Structure 1
Amino acid sequence: MTPAHSPDAADAPAVSTVVEFRGGSAMIPASRDVVQGFVARLADAGVSTADTFLDAARLVASELVTNALRHAPGPCRLELTLVEGGVEIAVSDTGQDFPTFLPSDPLRVGRHGLEIVTRLCDEVITKPHTTGKTVSARLPLR
């Protein structure tokens, strides 16, 4: 496995992007486009990813943005950051309620987004802030 960056943090490629969305359903496909551009920048920086990484990252971002659209009033912010061994995909919104992680249920129709995100990512963390919350998911590069 090729590390995302060298042991010397000063030599690590700094790759990140932030996009503010005003709202509306167009931000869901737009989030997938942002991820596509970000992953291209990773490749340009020499960061190696699994063959499935792009699809997984697009899915995680669109699920988190969809949750922000459905459960929080106002705009949201998508931030993608290269971190040790992965990419942190963070969505900040104006909602005060934390996401509800439901147990796996193959008979349930819908509401599988966070279940999918938690299966793909190493960790999912929700942090409150003064104007809402940020849900961060760390997706491994390999």
Structure 2
Amino acid sequence: MDLAGHNEGQEPLVDPLVRAGAAFEGSAEIAEARDMARDFLMSVQAVHGLPVSARAMGIVQLVVSELVTNARKYAPGPCLLDLEINGGTVQISVWDSSTTLPSVQATDPQRIGQHGLEITMAVSQTFSVHREPVGKRITAAIELADDPGGDPAGRQPS
């Protein structure tokens, strides 16, 4: 049965799934994770026609770098990076083998280092950590396009 023209002229019932994933083992591969995120978002723009602001491009690379760095630093073995477009956001998900949940320290401008999760949470629309049967998964969502009103994307203060 040929269904090539069956839905011609009609909108698809669901958006096509746009995703990418990779495993990373060495600390040198953190740069490769950032490159993967950039290439993924460039493809989202070029192939799928979705808008991706320059700000979103930079923030996604920053969040990927922070999450993969933490996974490589604090968990043995490889980590898995998944990127998925979902309703105008890119979901960044990093799995690692450690069951120890990350702790976010209180804001301290005098502290040197360990601001990665603090920054990631500040620039993400959503941020979650879930234990899995083996390890944990950290997921953050970043808006692809800035607010047309000029407000920066990100969680707004409550």
Q: Same fold (TM over 0.5)?
A: yes
Unaligned runs of 5+ in 2: 1-10, 146-158
Aligned: 1:53 with 2:74:
no
Decide whether the 8 Å contact of 1:15 with 1:41 is kept in 2: no
Q: Which stretch of the first structure deviates more once superposed, 56-65 or 95-104? A: 95-104
Q: What's the TM-score, normalizing by structure 1?
A: 0.89
Higher helix share: 1
Question: Quick one: which amino acid aligns to residue 133 of structure 1?
Answer: K
- Aligned residue in 1 for 2:30: 28
Equivalent residues, number: 134
* Residue 93 (structure 2) aligns with: 90
SS for the counterpart of 1:89 is strand
Moved more, 37-46 or 11-20: 11-20
Tell me which residue corresponds to 2:133: 130
1:53/1:141 contact within 8 Å kept: yes
- Identity level (%): 34
Please provide the CA RMSD for this pair. 1.3
Letter in 2 for 1:51: A
- Output aligned runs, 1:1-142, within 5 Å: 10=13, 12-21=15-24, 23-44=25-46, 45-142=48-145
| Matched AA of 2:107 | S
Q: Cα distance, 1:103 vs. partner?
A: 1.8
- Unmatched runs of 5 consecutive residues or more in structure 1: 1-7
TM-score, normalization by structure 2? 0.81
CA displacement at 1:14 relative to structure 2: 2.1
Quick one: higher RCO (CA 8 Å, sep 6+), 1 or 2? Answer: 1
Q: Which has the larger radius of gyration?
A: 2
